[in-house]
Amino acid sequence: MTVNKIAKTLEELAPLEHAESFDNVGLLVGDPNMKVKGVLVTLDTLENVMDEAIEKKCNLIVSFHPIIFKGLKKLTGSNYVERVVLKAITNNIAIYSMHTALDNSKIGVNAKICDVLGLKNPEILIPRTKSIKKLTTYAPNATAENIKMALFAAGAGEIGKYSNCSYSLEGVGSFKAEDGANPAVGKVGEVHFEKETMINVIYSFEKEKPILKALFDAHPYEEVAYEVLTLENTNQDLGMGMVGHLDIEMEEKEFLLMVKERMKASTVRHSELLGRKVSKVAVLGGSGAFAIGAAKKAGADILVTADLKYHDFYQAENQLVIADIGHFETEQFTKDLLVDYLTKKIPNFAVSLSESITNPIKYL
């Protein structure tokens, strides 16, 4: 099992293309072809985590937060980032980070929060826009079905819980093969009319390369006519935050105390309680001030997130309760999610949950 193979397995859960543009995800340190002896899963790659990896003989660390976020101009060990990278290189330990790629996953960070809080039927709170593409191509009627099957196999035509979705329309195409061409139908120098099927399929943007390869491989024409459009449709399977429902309504204070207990939070900072029942709950792991408007629009009774500033709480405007339980607290169970995932995907392989404490915030 190589670093690259484990990375590809992780990218089935959270493709790197799903990360935000500002982020730094993927393999940050190490040789992708190195054989992996053991994997240590952590929220943050700190010096104590490196020591734990060395002790447990794990030469791949899978981390949620990237240890290298901005460019490094030197490696002298003058700060904790440089020291971690130096220790990783010295001990031949690879570091792989997932961060916002996992944040944007429908079964990632926020789905885990929903699971811990017992929220049912969770949906994406802020669906990603301009991430769905539409492919239109034209093929001889006799080959259209085979081309569609090839496109479906490559990941095209998936909409929510439906697959093999397409729209086809029959018509007549025309072309003239010029000197040097090798047409599959028709003759060089003659205008040819062919009964063709127009095929339309949609797909998530990260699948474009294999889908176009499948199209070119399956299509009989020497020159394939096709067009790709980026759609304005929101992607309900990709985006930040989630919103779900409680089985039984709860009082606001009762719900916040439950959140504090289940999320192992030392404290809960919240906006004014409104004296209403809590039924619909929005969550966003990490810094979530930007999700307040989306939580209101979704009709959430409460938003559970972190890193809110003083003035952020004013945005509640008596429409919902905003709760800040701490950055680490909202993301801590991500480690469990990744260990469970890797254990199922690569059984009989050493995957360890880091025991190192990486929360930099302490409470009196």
Assign 281 a pLDDT band (cuts: 50, 70, 90): very high
Contacts of 65 (CB under 8 A, 6+ apart): 43, 44, 45, 97, 99
* Residues in contact with 78: Cβ distance below 8 Å, sequence separation at least 6, in sequence order: none
Task: Indicate if 187 and 261 belong to the same structural domain.
Answer: no
> What SS3 string covers 335-353?
HHHHHHHHHHHCCCCCEEE
Share of the chain above pLDDT 90, in %: 98
CB 283 within 8 A of CB 306: no
Tell whether the model's pLDDT for residue 357 goes beyond 90.
Answer: yes
Of the candidates 48, 67, 12, 7, the one whose C-alpha atom is nearest the C-alpha of residue 31 is: 7
Of 233, 252, 280, the residue that ends a domain is 233
Average pLDDT over residues 100-124: 97
Same structural domain, 120 and 86: no
pLDDT per residue as tens digits for the range 169-216:
999 999 999 999 999 999 999 999 999 999 999 999 999 999 999 999
CA 28 from chain centre, in angstroms, equals: 18
Residue 60: per-residue pLDDT: 98
Place of tokens 């790629």: 101
Q: What is this structure's pTM?
A: 0.91
In SS3 terms, 278-334 reads as EEEEEEEEEECHHHHHHHHHCCCCEEEEECCCHHHHHHHCCCCEEEECCHHHHHCCH
303: confidence class by pLDDT, cuts 50, 70, 90: very high
359 within domain boundaries: no
Residues 140 and 156 in one domain: yes
Q: pLDDT grade, residue 162 (50/70/90)? A: very high
Q: What is the mean pLDDT of residues 22-44?
A: 98
- 362 falls within a domain: no
What band does 161 get if pLDDT is binned at 50, 70 and 90?
Answer: confident
Q: Does 89 lie in the same domain as 139?
A: no
Residue 133: per-residue pLDDT: 97
Residue 12 belongs to domain spanning: 3-101+333-353
Q: Residue 160 belongs to a domain with what CATH number?
A: 3.30.70.120
Q: Is the pLDDT of residue 160 over 90?
A: no
Question: Which amino acid would we find at residue 20?
Answer: E
The full length of the chain comes to 364
* Nearest alpha-carbon partner for 97 in 49, 37, 35: 49
Domains: count for the chain = 3
Average pLDDT along the chain: 97
SS3 call for 11:
helix
Please compute the mean of the pLDDT values over residues 293-320 and round it to a whole number.
98
Round to whole Å and give the CA distance between 30 and 346: 21
Q: Tell me, what's the pLDDT at 150?
A: 98
What is the structure's pLDDT at 71?
86
Q: In which order are the strands placed within the sheet that holds 39-42?
A: 26-29, 94-97, 60-63, 39-42, 351-353
**338-to-9, 140, 280, 345 alpha-carbon distances in Å:** 11, 46, 27, 10
